[in-house]
Structure 1
Amino acid sequence: MHFASLPDRRAASTPDGPAVADGRHSLTNAQFLTRVRAAARHLQDLGIGTGDVVALKLRNRVEFVFLLFGAWRLGATVTPVNPSLTEGEVARQLHDSGARLLVVEDGTTAAGVTTLAVDDLDGEAVGPGPTPQPDSTAPALLIYTSGTTGVPKGVMLDHSNIDAMAAMGCQVIETGQTDRCLLILPLFHVNAIVISVLMPLVAGGSVFITDRFDPKTFFDLVERERPTYFSAVPTVYNILEALPADVRPDTSSLRYGTCGAAPASAELPIRFEARYGFPIIEGYGLSEGTCFSTVNPVAGPRRAGTVGVVVPGQELRIVDEQGNELATGMDGEVIVRGPNVMRGYLGRPEDTAKTIVDGWLYTGDVGHLDADGYLTLVGRSKDMIIRGGENIYPKEIEDVLTTDPSVLEAAVIGVPDDRWGEVVVAYVQPRPGTTVDPEALEALTARHLSGYKRPTSFLVVDAIPKNAVGKIDKPSLRAAHAAALSSH
């Protein structure tokens, strides 16, 4: 199966069936095909062709999906851009990806890159438009994720990756023709693209796209649109579970909600299902693995506190630092293998070689398997912080903080938070003879970092702890921070 021709097949089989909708548009399969053809023709007229990269800096809306499939018809690659990125962060992604076109809705421009305002996108196709390009090895998505160095890397996913992931996903969470997904996660996430768009569409179902998650209106949408499932992160479920007791929505249409991006607490799925009457299906995966590699069974036993069992079609092992497989119950690095594993990082062969070894994707996450194959994550070998499902890498923030002339060193850690899972806290050590102004640091990070990356507090210390080899000792810093909190 190749996604470039999926709109054609849906229109041919059930032209009047529902396809995609948002708060402004509701399209049948035939109308969806028309809009995809029009988008492809518009991109073609702007010079986009095989091998080109199209950047989409858009909030959640149906045009994102038209452009996604339109680009694929031309053999082009799509790189989604987080709309909340700063101008410098956007420019860095555009330069690294080699994007030829940037589609925007807010007037953003970029030097050397053609810009298309999404409201100017053609809506009517003239003729059938370009013929879909069925090359399974062609790159489909270029997803940017930060590395341990804090420098964003482009994860290259080809059509065989997304085809395999969508097929495996439909099997394990039992997606079918009657399913209607409520998309609430931002479309610059691979989770939103794969689980909430590609999977329901390839299964013959439909998707309703929300602009953003709003706990005040979420259940109103559920009652009106009658979705059968949605995908979210633990923060969303925590917020919903904490709504006032008099919130008693009709959730009878929902079969389940999927949960990923960060491990949920063992108690959350139990409390949530008891309150709302449908289960949370928790899974685990990486952008480098196209979306997810483990999932708790929909029909079989779900084990709270775990992220489920390996997805059929993939392999998973727990290994030590030498790559030797560890016994059941022993903690080690999680590695996965399968047709969903990325082609590599764009332009970074050394990083690719470190991450993919003999076809195995080394995740950098630490966990163990029980006797039945359920995976429990116990930590991350990397220092990544996950705030509300967003991956944050400390060095990017530390590099900004140390541009302040009063800062000698900075160490950024994640600390537990009931609402977001983790929040960012920065420790800073002053240069001798200077005084650090936390308000100045707050203004500095506001200029250079997206809101979710900014520290919630700046703690000035005489010295940042170091380990025996002189490196910043973040484990002891996190322990000291936790001890300080517990003493208050």
Structure 2
Amino acid sequence: MTNLDYLPWRRPAAYDDRPAVRDDKHDLTYAGFSTWTDAVAEQLAGYGVGPGSVVAVMLPNRVELLVVLVAAWRLGAAATPINPMFTANEADYQINDADAAVVVNNGPESPNGGRPSIAVDDLRRTRWGDRGLPEPATEPGELALLIYTSGSTGRPKGVMLSHRNIGAMAAMMSEHLKITAEDHCLLILPLFHVNAICISFLTPISVGGQLTVLQRFQPVEFLAAIEKFRPTYFSAVPTIYSHLVSQPDDVVADTSSIRFAICGAAPASKELLAATEKRYGIGLVEGYGLTEVTCASTANPVDGERKLGTVGVALPGQRVGIMAPDGALVPTGERGEVVIQGANVMQGYLNRPDATADALGDGWLHTGDVGILDADGYLRIVDRIKDMIIRGGENIYPKEIETVLHGHPAVLEAAVVGAPHPVYGEVPVAVVAAYPDQVIDVDELIALCRANLTKIKVPVAIHVVAAIPKNPVGKPDKPAIRTSIQS
């Protein structure tokens, strides 16, 4: 099911004059996007980018980010998109772990990991000439994306996604959601996530559709964009839908162009889904996935039965199973770990053979989530094995925050858990204990976190305790900690 038709050099000539991608500064046809991609590819080649290289791109949502991704692919290189809100500590780690040949960012003040960099405003729009660009020869097995996801061991890991992976995902989504050349996606999720790249960009572009990129989400501006651009679908997280349904009654919009919207990245309540559909008349398709499966593995159908409380059925070409601890698949209706097979499953973690073996060693991708499949093949997620916090659709792994807290000389122990939040679902809260004869200054710890972590990872509260409760094997008892911070 691999589909490489998202690559400009594979598009039909009939697409040339069709609208392709736009933001608040640019509006490009397929031909215009291809021309710009070639110019930037030639510029990147001047920095030594070629087959096997990695290009880092640290930009907010804008057309240039997509141009850089495809320009890297034009040269047989991969791209690693970086959260533009990252601190220098976070960004430099990703740039150097990926061994990026060059970084495209906002300018000299942006992190570059000590690597050569190109300011976004200096990206070329036209070719130098006929030199510097080889004929495109992208192969399915070539590395396309390095998407970094935090891990339970602390430092983020680079998820290796090939063109076979991302092409399969585009094909699966277009088949399941019936995306055609008449579809138009309004992109609101951040482009450093695989969801935005694959579902909002590659899926419509692979079939001749179009994409409008919004830089950020503001409820009233978002609804105005729907009225102005008349998109047919968009993908969002539960927090965005919460903001939309909580708008004052006098906030109204013509959303009749939307034939469906996707909800994913975090659990959503039945009540939120129903309230969104009632207020805006938009049918919500809830799905489930993770970066390691190139975004999505299940989704409710657009036209068939949408079972609220489930995340739908397996996408075409994927197999979703429920596995017991002994490695056996369990019968329908029984709970176990969600495991996945398909052409969309990652190649592995960059330079992490042990972590790759743990995730893929038996031929299944182990998600760390607990689920149940019903008789119709609909998946319901009931728990998480992984100690992950999901804040507004963003995955936060406590170990990364705990590592920063342990960097303070007064901190003996630190544990981070998720606390319930009415809008974001969960937010990180820390519990710390001091070394003997040391005093912990909470304000100092907050400042340390702000200096080393993205804003969303900074704990909303830090509680100082005499000792952190432990479980029978001597590890922090996080269920007990969660109970204590809520009491």
* Interval of TM-score (by shorter of Structure 1 and Structure 2): over 0.9
CA–CA distance in 2 between the matches of 1:31 and 1:403?
A: 49
Q: Would you say how many aligned residue pairs link Structure 1 and Structure 2?
A: 483
| Residue 270 (structure 2) aligns with | 266
> 1:82 corresponds to which letter in structure 2?
N
Identity %: 52
Shift, 1:238, TM fit? 0.8
* Structure 2, unaligned runs of 5 or more: none
Q: Is the 8 A contact 1:233 1:389 kept in 2?
A: yes
1:315 corresponds to which of 314, 319, 332: 319
Matched, 1:426 2:430: yes
Identify which range, 16-25 or 328-337, moves more after superposition: 328-337
| Residue 290 (structure 1) aligns with | 294
Q: Is the 8 A contact 1:234 1:259 kept in 2?
A: yes
**3-state DSSP of counterpart to 2:321:** strand
Matched, 1:149 2:153: yes
Q: Is the 8 A contact 1:430 1:462 kept in 2?
A: yes
Deviation digits for residues 71-97 of structure 1 (CA, Å, limit 9, x no counterpart): 111100000011111111111111111
> 1:293 corresponds to which letter in structure 2?
S
Matched, 1:365 2:369: yes
**3-state DSSP of counterpart to 1:71:** helix
Q: State how 1:224-263 maps to structure 2 within 5 Å.
A: 224-263=228-267
**3-state DSSP of counterpart to 2:24:** coil
CA–CA distance in 2 between the matches of 1:13 and 1:130?
A: 24
Matched, 1:301 2:305: yes
1:451 corresponds to which of 452, 455, 464: 455
Matched, 1:408 2:409: no
Matched, 1:120 2:122: yes
**3-state DSSP of counterpart to 1:258:** strand
CA–CA distance in 2 between the matches of 1:135 and 1:189?
A: 23
| Residue 87 (structure 1) aligns with | 88
Q: State how 1:374-393 maps to structure 2 within 5 Å.
A: 374-393=378-397
CA–CA distance in 2 between the matches of 1:12 and 1:130?
A: 21
| Residue 63 (structure 2) aligns with | 62
* Structure 1, unaligned runs of 5 or more: none
**3-state DSSP of counterpart to 2:296:** coil
CA–CA distance in 2 between the matches of 1:132 and 1:214?
A: 39
Shift, 1:345, TM fit? 0.4
> 1:71 corresponds to which letter in structure 2?
A
CA–CA distance in 1 between the matches of 2:395 and 2:358?
A: 20
CA–CA distance in 1 between the matches of 2:15 and 2:318?
A: 32
TM-aligned CA distance change 1:4 to 1:10, over 3 Å = closer
Q: Is the 8 A contact 1:4 1:69 kept in 2?
A: no
Shift, 1:405, TM fit? 2.3
CA–CA distance in 2 between the matches of 1:119 and 1:157?
A: 28
Deviation digits for residues 128-185 of structure 1 (CA, Å, limit 9, x no counterpart): 6542122111100011001111211000001111111110010111111111101111
Matched, 1:98 2:102: no
CA–CA distance in 2 between the matches of 1:458 and 1:109?
A: 29
TM-aligned CA distance change 1:24 to 1:342, over 3 Å = same
TM-aligned CA distance change 1:274 to 1:318, over 3 Å = same
| Residue 170 (structure 2) aligns with | 166
Shift, 1:127, TM fit? 5.0
> 1:132 corresponds to which letter in structure 2?
P
Q: Is the 8 A contact 2:3 2:168 kept in 1?
A: no
Shift, 1:33, TM fit? 1.3
Matched, 1:22 2:23: yes
Q: Is the 8 A contact 1:295 1:309 kept in 2?
A: yes
**3-state DSSP of counterpart to 1:396:** helix
Deviation digits for residues 432-461 of structure 1 (CA, Å, limit 9, x no counterpart): 333322111111111111101000011122
CA–CA distance in 1 between the matches of 2:62 and 2:143?
A: 23
CA–CA distance in 1 between the matches of 2:186 and 2:6?
A: 23
CA–CA distance in 2 between the matches of 1:5 and 1:218?
A: 26
Scaled by the length of structure 2, the TM-score of the pair is: 0.96
CA–CA distance in 2 between the matches of 1:59 and 1:16?
A: 27
> 1:365 corresponds to which letter in structure 2?
D
CA–CA distance in 2 between the matches of 1:479 and 1:332?
A: 25
CA–CA distance in 1 between the matches of 2:387 and 2:468?
A: 16
CA–CA distance in 2 between the matches of 1:324 and 1:439?
A: 49
CA–CA distance in 2 between the matches of 1:309 and 1:252?
A: 27
Q: Is the 8 A contact 1:177 1:203 kept in 2?
A: yes
CA–CA distance in 1 between the matches of 2:90 and 2:44?
A: 24
Identify which range, 297-306 or 424-433, moves more after superposition: 424-433
Q: State how 1:28-43 maps to structure 2 within 5 Å.
A: 28-43=29-44
CA–CA distance in 2 between the matches of 1:271 and 1:18?
A: 33
| Residue 75 (structure 2) aligns with | 74
Q: Is the 8 A contact 1:4 1:134 kept in 2?
A: no
